Amino acid sequence: MDKKFYITTPIYYANGLAHVGHFLTTTAADVLARYQRLLLGDENVFFTTGLDEHGTTVEQAAVKDGFTSNTIKDYTDKRAEQWKQDFDLTNISYDYFVRTTNPKHEKIAQDFIREMVKNGDVYKAKYKGKYCNGCEKFLTLSDLNKEGYCPLHRPDQVIEIEEENYFFKLSKYAGQVKKLIEDNTIKIIPENKKAEIISRLSGKVEDFSISRPKEKVSWGVEFPDDPRQVIYVWIEALINYRSSLEITKKPEDFWSNSWHLLGKDINWFHNTIWPAMLLAAGYSVFSGSFVHGFLMIGGEKISKSKGNIITPKQLVEKFGVDGARYLILANFPYDNDSDVTWEQLIIKYNADLANGLGNLVSRVAKLAENSGFEFPKIQPSGSHPEGEVKKHLEEFRFDKALEYIWGKISEADKYLDDKKPWNLQGVTLQEVLQELVGRIRQIANNLRPFLPETAEKVEKQFAGGKIASSSPLFPRLQ
């Protein structure tokens, strides 16, 4: 049996457009999908990303944009096109674009909840407390700042609610989920994000509200067998990871090697609530999740209102598609947050791409062209990234994998400078150029999951026969 690989990103709220933070998670997932396709073949990899389209935030944004409560779907249709354009622009090779307004997803979500109800894990009770519309979240005391507000959103986004909801017996599953995480049935990477969940699961875990009254939240999926309630948007959204497989009729073995990629803000939802829901509905749990830190801009949180936002489109306009992908992956916030500014990005682009990779490729191509030699042909797209790159990718170390590849670029530069092929002739020159061409081919192979267009260009240019020089891969920026 072929091994399968299923990789997901969070589904992003449809109330806004993609920024560099969303681009970061999605590019990381894309790298893993591309890498696994090289190992397992296209048909054995399933990569999903998409939009979370229900809930108050989306409804409010639609109304603000001039849509009415009857045309919210038109608003999310428009948003879905915009997000897809951004993902296409940045070469994100998703296999399926999730939209939670897809009626098939809505039905699967209802059936999922029905299973939880059948299992005796859902009951009706009063919820009294704070809710943040911005987070779409019931706030616990630990979520609040000193002033009693949500630290992430404007004070008016936090409302007091007292309502009758359906509750899920999360407390019943806390011990079981903790054990599954401890014994690595669910692998949480990196270690500090695992520790965070284990510590919270070691304390008191409360049951969790999974519905909202329809008169308060109308833009949602109706709770099964109760038209007065809608499914709480987070609960419905998490089910996308199952509904995507069911809608596309993927065999169950994708689920047995399924990985969620996400930011640290939604660790608890993915690594406690979601596995508990799966257990309650009678499913096996997913294989694991990779929880990364946040990308900051100039030391600040990305925030539209503060004006420190970078969009994928802006990055591509400045650095090209692969330049954008490289800069974000090289600054990857593995276990801590990372920070970028336009100035630093330009410096890194010039150092690593215009000078490092770009310069090496153009110097060697020029020397090969001038030599007039014929080089042995290789099968383009024939081989895989090296063992060291594999190791880093399997540990979600995008930054380290790139550091390794850039180490190889420096070594090739050094070899070139030491051997000084411009002073050589005949067989010695041929040997040195042959060695350099071989090294560049290996570098291109290693780059395939990360910088797919560049890797392909370089592979073609160095495929063998006569080698010609070409325009710079990454023009220098001022």
Residues that bind ligand MSP in the complex, under the rule CB under 6 A: 10-13, 21-22, 24-25, 52, 237-238, 240, 262-263, 265-266, 294-295, 302
Select 202 or 303, whichever has its Cβ closest to ligand MSP.
Answer: 303
Give the Cα separation of 284 and 39 in Å (integer): 25
Select 261 or 360, whichever has its Cβ closest to ligand MSP.
Answer: 261
Q: Which of 19, 54, 105, 193 is catalytic?
A: 19
Q: How many residues does the chain have?
A: 478
Q: How far is the CB of 119 from ligand MSP (least distance, A)?
A: 22
Q: How far is the CB of 76 from ligand MSP (least distance, A)?
A: 13
State which residue has the least CB distance to ligand MSP. 21
Give the SS3 label for residue 459. Answer: helix
DSSP label at residue 269: I
Q: How far is the CB of 256 from ligand MSP (least distance, A)?
A: 20
How many H helices and E strands in the chain?
A: 17, 15
Residue type, 263: G
Give the SS3 label for residue 225. Answer: coil
Select 303 or 370, whichever has its Cβ closest to ligand MSP.
Answer: 303
Q: How far is the CB of 338 from ligand MSP (least distance, A)?
A: 8
Rg (CA), the chain: 25
Whether 292 is a known active-site residue: answer no
Q: Which of 22, 54, 260, 408 is catalytic?
A: 22
CB 250: neighbour CB atoms within 10 A?
A: 16
Select 295 or 360, whichever has its Cβ closest to ligand MSP.
Answer: 295
Whether 304 is a known active-site residue: answer yes
Q: How far is the CB of 183 from ligand MSP (least distance, A)?
A: 25
Whether 153 is a known active-site residue: answer yes
Measured CA distances, 117 to 27, 70, 358 (Å): 37, 30, 59
Whether 216 is a known active-site residue: answer no
Contacts 24+ apart (CB under 8 A), 154-157: 157/132, 157/133
Q: Which of 64, 118, 126, 304 is catalytic?
A: 304
CA 161: distance to chain centroid? 33
Q: Which of 73, 107, 153, 318 is catalytic?
A: 153
Whether 377 is a known active-site residue: answer no
* For the chain, the helix, strand and coil percentages under 3-state DSSP, each to the nearest 5: 50, 20, 30
Q: Which of 301, 306, 414, 466 is catalytic?
A: 301
Give the Cα separation of 324 and 326 in Å (integer): 5
Whether 179 is a known active-site residue: answer no
Select 197 or 266, whichever has its Cβ closest to ligand MSP.
Answer: 266
**Residues identified as active-site:** 19, 22, 132, 135, 150, 153, 301, 304
